[in-house]
Amino acid sequence: MIPEIGQFALIVALCVAITQAVVPLTGAALGVQRWVAVAVPAALAQLLFVAVAYGCLTWAFLSHDFSVLYVAKNSNSALPLIYRISGVWGSHEGSLLLWSLVLTLWSAAVALFTPGVPRVMRARVLAVMGLVSCGFLLFIIVTSNPFERLLPAAAEGSDLNPLLQDVGLAIHPPMLYLGYVGFSVAFAFSIAALISGQVDSAWARWSRPWTNVAWLFLTLGIALGSWWAYYELGWGGWWFWDPVENASFMPWLMGTALMHSLATTEKRGTFKAWTALLAIFAFALSLLGTFLVRSGVLTSVHAFASDPERGIFILGFLLLVVGGSLTLYAWRAPLLKSAAQTSVLSRDGALLLNNIFLAVVTAAILLGTLYPIAIDAMGDKISVGPPYFNLMFIGLAAPLGVLIGIGMLIRWKHDTFERLKSKLWLPALLAVILAAGLALLLPEFKLAAFVGLSMAVWILLTVISAIRERLQNRSLASALRSTPAGFYGMLLGHLGIAVFIVGITLTSLYTKEKDLRMAPGDTYSVAGYEFTFNGVRQLHVDNYVATRGSFSVHDESGNFATEMFPEKRIYLVQNNPMTEAAINAGLARDLFIALGESLDNQGAWAVRIYYKPFIRWIWLGAIIMALGGVCAASDRRYRRLARGRSPASDALEQAS
Amino acid sequence: MIRFALPLTIFVLMIGLLAYGLRLDPKRVPSPLIDKPAPAFSLSMLEDPSRKLSTADFAGQVWVLNVWASWCVSCRAEHEVIKMLARQNLVIIVGLNYKDQPADASRWLDTYGNPYAASVVDGDGRVGIDWGVYGVPETFVIGADGRIKYKHIGPVTEESLQQKVLPVIKELLG
């Protein structure tokens, strides 16, 4: 009965979504206020119904209802509680339901927390989000019903994919979806602005906090995914340029460009058309990501569920949403005139350059991701691997690192070369000297390490210069009072990049890796640490049995000692072997042991040991960036504007 | 105007590419085993563990090897299609019961019907490794010359049976 209620709630939600899309848009076009007023209650009602559907599916998981096909395929009575909750999004149908739930959450948030936005504008935004929601709900109901019955019911479920039985991956998809789907708000604002023809700085100001929040969730989501790949796949890597990873990285890059471009549009009233286009791109790439993952066009380690028929639906949807938006753009964008003239040597110019680089990186990743399909279309199978992506990414991202520092110190509108030079020469010189010193402290001097470190130190120093500039001719107290949170957001975001650069540079250059055959009692030394193998023992835990190896680790001076326990697990239901690496984490280095295969009857095992310096900095950098997003989104300015409806915005509403 | 229509043009081209991509089969991972001799096995029969069945028993015949297990939900969906193929009486269908408990497997066949001429037990999955099985279900078509002619990954649907598996079998039977 409960699953039928869920299905019914989904159908009602679709009806509400159609109402939410059609009535306010028509009302706004014809000037009927009562139709416009439908948008907010519709968004809230839609959230209610989708939440009911979602709750029903969760209930089916919790109560082991194996008469629901999706539950039978993705759960098991031995599955621990947390994975029964996260199992809801463990596969295709449920993850789409989560997508819809997140979209309705964002819509409800827009309905509730945008009091400063004129009513007509908000109604248009909600209508666009309702349209997107229609597509997804229709997709779920028509092709991917999570409530489909399996009669007679299965006696036992075939268990959640063991790869997904992990806390990191349990929270990775919701984070990622909050980010992906969050870009729908900026997208909807952009479309609403294009429809109304009002692309002004108010529009940019309304979009900014939403874009920041979506971006910070996406940042955390990607970092979580990378962290999960690192410890769960047992490969010791943290990024694989897998098509699905690319699918999440491309919207992130576009979102980053969008944040910067929105800043320019708000401050200077320039780049309007470009900003509107970026908002469309960021969301289009989120949809494309969904398409790539869910259609099976590309095979990858993430292809947990794929089906070409569903692909046709998503492709049609993509064509409608993105094609429609770009047509609207081609028609309306020529009307968007930039308010001000800008010189190339200005912060506006630097931000434009940043946008161009980010767009080119995105295009290059898109090309690498889709190229295999193009080649396949000509009859060959190839995959584009890390060498292409690494070369392209490092080559194109390095200038961005330099640009970050310049961008923080250059002036809006117009700057002079002399002033800029006087600001920049000292940080640049210091960065090179300090980086050279640091690089010499490393176990072995490498030019690439020096370059990476100079970049990081350069960003750090320019951040300090930017703070000093704020403090100039002002007391600390008054500087603190007058500095907007957005400024701290920018500093943190850029510092995060610096930390991240240190992480990837040192990890990729100084990782030590050893594949060993170890019998009990054997000792090997890797990067100054002694690893002694103490043999293995068998364990039985919940729904798997494990072979657990034990290693004693010491450093040569005897200051550091620990035990590490890598496991080889067999998940009983699917008979799936899984490697659980043992990781000893530290700010300066990780020790990583993965247990391979048993080699003989004497207890010798294939063992892989990694020493990974500074790998934590990669995720630490992402966390700092996300904190920057929190700061920027919490800027008082957005709340001040939100408080009460100003007479000006009402006048604007009458005019539209 | 043209400048603003450029994104739309690029997007439409990309959609065209993706639409074409959808028609391709991502599961068509070129198997290194195609046209190679089928890896030999000699395994106990599920129905009668005292009897062994080996690849040599099918020499000179076209036959189908279907990898299945009682724990595999997709196999249940595929089972009706395998039965459909069996009813046509074209070829011998051998089941490779993969990493399963024999008791569960027998009960499964009793419940859902048994289209197999025989099922052999690959309890530890060793034969599966030889055959390059990386998921259940998988289906192989082996020619009279003892070579693997076709490999299907994932459940055989009615559509793929009609369009891919049967044409290969019919061609082999001449």
3-class state of residue A536 by DSSP: strand
- Pick from A154, A295, A319: CB nearest B22: A295
Residue A344 has pLDDT above 90, yes or no: no
Task: Give B-chain residues touching A154 at CB under 8 angstroms.
Answer: 73
- Judged by CB atoms closer than 8 Å, whether chains meet at B8 and A326 is answered as yes
3-class state of residue A167 by DSSP: helix
**pLDDT of amino acid A655:** 35
- Report whether A511 contacts A612 (CB < 8 A): yes
B120: closest CA of chain A, how far (Å):
18
Main-chain phi, psi angles of A581, to 5 degrees:
-70, 150
Residue with tokens 């292409």: A388
- Report whether A401 contacts A452 (CB < 8 A): no
**pLDDT of amino acid A620:** 97
Task: Give B-chain residues touching A323 at CB under 8 angstroms.
Answer: 8, 11-12, 15
- Pick from A308, A330, A370: CB nearest B5: A330
Residue A569 has pLDDT above 50, yes or no: yes
Q: Which helix (H) or strand (E) holds A466?
A: helix A447-471
Split at pLDDT 50, 70, 90, the class of B23 is low
- Residue A282 counted as domain residue: no
**pLDDT of amino acid A220:** 96
Tell me the C-alpha to C-alpha distance, in Å, between residue A399 and each of A403, A405, B151: 6, 10, 48
Residue A439 has pLDDT above 50, yes or no: yes
**pLDDT of amino acid B28:** 54
- Residue B135 counted as domain residue: yes
ipTM for the whole complex:
0.71
A161: closest CA of chain B, how far (Å):
12
The mean pLDDT of A561-590, rounded to a whole number, is 86
| Chain A residue with the nearest C-alpha to that of B71 | A158
- Residue B1 counted as domain residue: no
A377: closest CA of chain B, how far (Å):
7
Domain that holds residue A130: 1-165
Please spell the DSSP secondary structure of A102-144, one letter per residue.
HHHHHHHHHHHS-TTS-HHHHHHHHHHHHHHHHHHHHHHHHH-
Task: Give A-chain residues touching B30 at CB under 8 angstroms.
Answer: 381
Domain that holds residue B153: 33-173
- Judged by CB atoms closer than 8 Å, whether chains meet at A373 and B19 is answered as no
Residue A475 neighbours by CB under 8 Å, 6+ apart: none
Looking at chain A, the whole-number percentage of residues with pLDDT higher than 70 is 92
Q: Which of A165, A199, A216 is the last residue of a domain?
A: A165
Task: Give A-chain residues touching B24 at CB under 8 angstroms.
Answer: 297, 373, 376-377
- Residue B111 counted as domain residue: yes
Q: Which of A165, A187, A202 is the last residue of a domain?
A: A165
B143: closest CA of chain A, how far (Å):
25
CATH code for the domain of B103: 3.40.30.10
**pLDDT of amino acid A653:** 38
- Residue B46 counted as domain residue: yes
- Residue A2 counted as domain residue: yes
- Note the pLDDT tens digit of each residue in A322-332: 999 999 999 98
- Note the pLDDT tens digit of each residue in A504-545: 999 989 999 888 899 999 999 988 899 999 989 988 887 788
- Pick from A306, A327, A376: CB nearest B24: A376
B43 pairs with which residues across the strands? B53
| Chain A residue with the nearest C-alpha to that of B99 | A575
- Residue B12 counted as domain residue: no
- Judged by CB atoms closer than 8 Å, whether chains meet at B7 and A291 is answered as no
Q: Which helix (H) or strand (E) holds B69?
A: none
- Judged by CB atoms closer than 8 Å, whether chains meet at A311 and B30 is answered as no
- Judged by CB atoms closer than 8 Å, whether chains meet at A326 and B11 is answered as yes
The mean pLDDT of A371-399, rounded to a whole number, is 75
Chain B interface mutation, best of A70, A148, A337, A373, highest count of B Cβ atoms under 10 Å: A373
Residue with tokens 């289009």: A284
Q: In angstroms, rounded to a whole number, what is the distance separating the alpha carbons of residues A123 and A40?
A: 7
Split at pLDDT 50, 70, 90, the class of A643 is very low
| Chain B residue with the nearest C-alpha to that of A576 | B99
CA angle A518, A523, A525 (to 5 degrees): 110
Residue A548: name the closest of A563, A561, A560, A535 by CA: A535
Provide the mean pLDDT of chain A. 87
Q: Within 10 Å of residue A282's Cβ, how many Cβ atoms?
A: 31
Provide the mean pLDDT of chain B. 85
How many domains would you assign to chain B? 1
Residue A137 has pLDDT above 70, yes or no: yes
| Chain B residue with the nearest C-alpha to that of A297 | B22
Residue A81: name the closest of A543, A427, A512, A460 by CA: A543
Residue A319 has pLDDT above 80, yes or no: yes
Task: Give A-chain residues touching B22 at CB under 8 angstroms.
Answer: 295, 297, 308, 311-312, 315
- Residue B6 counted as domain residue: no
Main-chain phi, psi angles of A443, to 5 degrees:
-55, -25
| Chain B residue with the nearest C-alpha to that of A324 | B8
- Residue B82 counted as domain residue: yes
- Pick from B1, B18, B30: CB nearest A315: B18
- Note the pLDDT tens digit of each residue in B92-151: 999 999 888 888 899 889 888 899 999 999 988 888 888 888 678 889 999 988 899 898
- Judged by CB atoms closer than 8 Å, whether chains meet at A334 and B26 is answered as no
Q: In angstroms, rounded to a whole number, what is the distance separating the alpha carbons of residues B141 and B148?
A: 6
Task: Give B-chain residues touching A314 at CB under 8 angstroms.
Answer: none
**pLDDT of amino acid A161:** 79
CA angle A628, A502, A393 (to 5 degrees): 85
How many domains would you assign to chain A? 2
**pLDDT of amino acid A308:** 62
3-class state of residue B39 by DSSP: coil
Q: How many beta-carbon contacts under 8 Å exist across A and B?
A: 84
- Judged by CB atoms closer than 8 Å, whether chains meet at B17 and A303 is answered as no
b or e along A243-260 (b: 16 or more beta carbons within 10 Å of the residue's beta carbon)?
A: bbbbbbbbbbbbbbbbbb
Task: Give A-chain residues touching B5 at CB under 8 angstroms.
Answer: 330
- Residue B138 counted as domain residue: yes
**pLDDT of amino acid B66:** 94
Looking at chain A, the whole-number percentage of residues with pLDDT higher than 90 is 54
